[in-house]
Amino acid sequence: MRWSELLRHGDQIAVAVVEVAGALIIFVGALWAALRFVVVGLRHRDAALFTPIRLSLGRFLTLGLEFQLAADILRTAVSPTFTQIGQLAAIAAIRTGLNFFLRREIGQEQRQVSQERAGPPP
């Protein structure tokens, strides 16, 4: 086996591992949020109690998307074509946009939770 073939095979394994890690992070986060949603929903009917669950799910989604983007970057690391570079740019732009809006919403939700914990202004 030539060096370039070995490198390409190792790259494919690394991509698969990172993609699986990202998918697993998203799956675990969604499962955790769903379970918490059911538990909190059965005990309470206050919508404000669901905000921490949404925040946590958003963090899992953000982390999982970062892993998926890392896998896409690894995929094009070994002798990329112009088509692959263009696809990576489009994927990176979409995932970066998703992360931007997720982070912005997480920040807004965190401020809301902090204000609720602090109580109404005197």
Task: Quote the pLDDT of residue 108.
Answer: 84
Sign of CA dihedral 73, 76, 80, 85: negative
**Domain tally, the chain:** 1
Domain holding 67, by residue range, is 3-118
Residue 109 scores a pLDDT above 70: yes
With beta carbons less than 8 A apart as the criterion, state whether 62 and 103 touch.
Answer: yes
- What global pTM score does this model have? 0.73
Query: What is the distance in angstroms between the CA of the first residue and the CA of the last residue of the chain?
Result: 74
pLDDT tens digits for range 43-68: 877 767 788 888 889 889 989 989 99
Nearest to 31 by CA among 8, 9, 80, 64: 64
Residue 80 scores a pLDDT above 80: no
